[in-house]
Amino acid sequence: MAALTIVLAGGGSAGHVNPMLATAHILRERGHKVHLVGTAEGLEVDLVPSSGFDLTTIERVPFPRRPGKALMTFPSRYAKAVTQAGRLLDESGADVALGFGGFASTPVYTSAHKRGLPVVIHEQNAKPGLANKYGARFAQAVGLTFASTPLRAKVGRTEHVGLPLRAPIYNLACRRLEDPHAGREEASARLGLDPSLPTLLVTGGSLGAAHLNSVLGTVACEIVDCGFQVLHLTGRGKSASIAAATSDLSTYHVREYLVEMEDAYATADLVLARAGAGSVAELSALGLPAFFVPLAIGNGEQELNAADVLAAGGGHLVRDKDFTVATVRRELLPLLSSPHTREEMGKAAKSVGCVDGAFKLARLVEEVCA
């Protein structure tokens, strides 16, 4: 088809920015012109330029949740953001707007709708955000990471496309379609792990999880006694206590943070993690069994993210308040001692995973404009 000019909007958290970037790369590879929009306060300010794209910023205008000064000034501030978004749409000659949620998306949805431009939405989470709920009222298409997400395009089409994966995760997932252990040897060498030992990956996300760290520090010896080595990503500034607790265990490896998460995944036989949408989707795409301890925020958003993979049998979930030393002994250690159970969980996770989410979303955009 003829090349399109596509404005992509999203930002705030890496959860919004990473799928936007993954899709932008694919759209550009397919010959389309892309313009990325965010706010000056979100992670997109760093992530977008470092990925080789220019970023246009517009006003960050959160919708006020309670009466006050912010509510009084909201209409004028939002109108300014809509004007800024509209200017970009006009100057770029946009054919379509593609939004990923977050503060930058809503003004772009509004401006595109006013101009009669098609709007396509990608919803990452199982519980839709306010921006995408708004945009779905008039969107030509909505793409979902999770099939069970209760968001539908009111007048357009809705499809389960999966999560647009970051290129290193996508590449590993493609390799693992042929060989379920692809990348293990090289990644283990880079991380100083023994590729012959089964590996438990522990990660609390980019910020880490002090509660997970505390519990794991208490039972570290018992995990190692199961024959496992551990790669524990504690979060920045949160490694001291777990490093001290495991200093005598040569197969318990502590790191604060790892940019190359594809290496961590490549070495893992079981992953103990939060249930952010990105983590759930990546683990499913890779066919990795997971022990989820969702972050207790909002109305249980992370627990909802894991619902599809749990229903398929690809994961185990314990709520954060219930994650204790006793729980580890009762529910995690038996998984470490059962290779067959982990293998079946991995197959189940893969059955609901999606490797080519970025390609599916790109095709959805193209089809809407055809």
Tell me the per-residue pLDDT of 166-176, one tens digit each, with 9 for 90 and over. 999 999 999 99
What sign does the CA torsion over 38, 40, 46, 51 have? Answer: positive
Q: Which helix H or strand E contains 19, and what residues bound it?
A: helix 14-29
Which residues have CB under 8 Å from 198's CB, separation 6+? 227, 228, 229, 269, 270, 336, 339
Q: Is 44 exposed, middle or buried (0-12, 13-18, 19+ CB in 10 A)?
A: buried
141 against 11, higher pLDDT: 141
Question: Residue 60 — left, alpha, or beta (φ > 0 → left; ψ -120 to 50 → alpha)?
Answer: beta
CA pair distance 147, 96, nearest whole angstrom: 24
Phi, psi for 251 (deg, rounded to 5): -105, 15
pLDDT at 16: 85
Mean predicted confidence (pLDDT) in 222-251: 93
Q: Does 205 have pLDDT greater than 80?
A: no
Domains of the chain are 5-165+355-369 (3.40.50.2000), 167-352 (3.40.50.2000)
DSSP 8-state class, residue 260:
-
Average pLDDT, the chain: 93
pLDDT at 299: 60
Mean predicted confidence (pLDDT) in 131-138: 96
What tokens were used for 355?
């490797």
Residue 1 banded pLDDT, cuts 50, 70, 90: confident
pLDDT at 280: 96
Q: Does 207 have pLDDT greater than 70?
A: no
How many other β-carbons are positioned within 10 Å of the β-carbon of residue 193? 21
Digit-coded pLDDT (tens) for 33-80: 999 999 988 889 999 999 999 999 998 887 766 676 766 667 788 899
Mean predicted confidence (pLDDT) in 184-198: 97
pLDDT at 264: 97
Digit-coded pLDDT (tens) for 300-345: 789 999 999 999 999 999 999 999 999 999 999 999 999 999 999 9
Q: Which amino acid is located at 249 in the chain?
A: L
pLDDT at 206: 61
CA pair distance 160, 190, nearest whole angstrom: 36
What tokens were used for 139?
């969107």
